Amino acid sequence: MDSGKIIAEGKIEDLKRNYAPKSVISIEFFNPNEQHRAREELGRYLEPKDIVAINGSIRVYSEDPDTLLPQISLNLFKAGVKIASLRVVKPTLEDVFLRLTGRRIMEVEG
């Protein structure tokens, strides 16, 4: 539901399967200000819709994280971006909402 309108319905697992990618690569930084530089670098080879900045971190949506993870690590290292954490996580309902609306749930509630 978004602004009183139903944007998708179904069981949680069905929503994740239908609207979220197979995996999410979560990138956290020692300095949250690195997020902007990292997003620029990732934007050189990823679709903008697959890069989401959240609270000083980045989530990258991918159907092939095993191939993309080393590429992200190498490219951000070469760009001088210091990464605190780089890991593959399962998509959440927040990721479904982000894909459907382009906004975080907190932005809507807030």
Angle formed at CA 72 by CA 71 and CA 76, multiple of 5 degrees: 120
Which two tokens mark 68? 């993309």
Q: Which CATH architecture has domain 21-90?
A: 2-Layer Sandwich (3.30)
Angle formed at CA 50 by CA 2 and CA 87, multiple of 5 degrees: 110
Of all helices (H) and strands (E), which one includes residue 61?
strand 57-62
pLDDT, tens digit, for every residue of 10-55?
Answer: 777 777 676 666 789 999 999 988 999 999 999 999 998 889 888 8
Cα(45)–Cα(68) distance, rounded to whole angstroms? Answer: 10
Q: Within its chain, how far is the Cα of 95 from the centroid?
A: 7
Give pTM, 2 decimals.
Answer: 0.75
Sheet holding 51-54, edge to edge: 51-54, 57-62, 23-29, 83-89
Instruction: Name the range with the highest mean pLDDT among 11-15, 28-32, 87-91, 105-109.
Output: 28-32
Burial class (CB in 10 A: 0-12, 13-18, 19+), 87: exposed
